[in-house]
Amino acid sequence: MARILVIDDSPTETYRFREILQRNGHDVLEAANGADGISVARAELPDLILMDVVMPGINGFQATRQLTRGAETKHIPIVIVSTKDQETDRVWGKRQGARDYLTKPIEETSLIRVIHQLLSAV
């Protein structure tokens, strides 16, 4: 069972992620924006982070960059999960340090497969 931090400003999306993750045996931490997500990640050191991109204040690309360059959080795999599905978004997300990039609406089997791949690689 992994501790997974969901950083998303949509209560609906956060609820959906929580349902999927808990159904698959994971503990869920939540943050409603990039700044709070960075704080929770630093305090809790989750096993993996699911990161939205479009959020008020610090967006998901900025938060990913801060976390992947931070000494205490750079080991945490980040998966960007966004409605932004252009190839340039995927490339930019990976350049910020994301290990994978999935698009919403998320398919449960794809999400769980990516999570298991990343957690088994750690």
Q: Evaluate the omega torsion of the peptide bond into residue 105 and state whether it is cis, within 30 degrees of 0.
A: yes
Fill in the amino acid letter for 84. Answer: K
Q: Which two tokens stand for residue 12?
A: 């609906």
Question: Is 114 within 8 Å of 103 (Cβ atoms)?
Answer: no
Q: How far is it, in rounded angstroms, from Cα 32 to Cα 8?
A: 5
pLDDT digit string (tens) for the chain, length 122 residues: 899 999 999 999 999 999 999 999 999 999 999 999 999 999 999 999 999 999 999 999 999 999 999 999 999 999 999 999 899 999 999 999 999 999 999 999 999 999 999 999 86
27: domain CATH number is 3.40.50.2300
Task: Show Cβ contacts of residue 107 under 8 Å, excluding neighbours closer than 6 positions.
Answer: none
Q: How far is it, in rounded angstroms, from Cα 47 to Cα 49?
A: 7
The whole-number pLDDT of residue 122 equals 62
The whole-number pLDDT of residue 1 equals 87
Q: Which domain holds residue 112?
A: 1-118
* Dihedral of alpha carbons 82, 87, 92, 95, sign: positive
Task: Show Cβ contacts of residue 114 under 8 Å, excluding neighbours closer than 6 positions.
Answer: 79, 100, 102
As for how many domains the chain has, the answer is 1
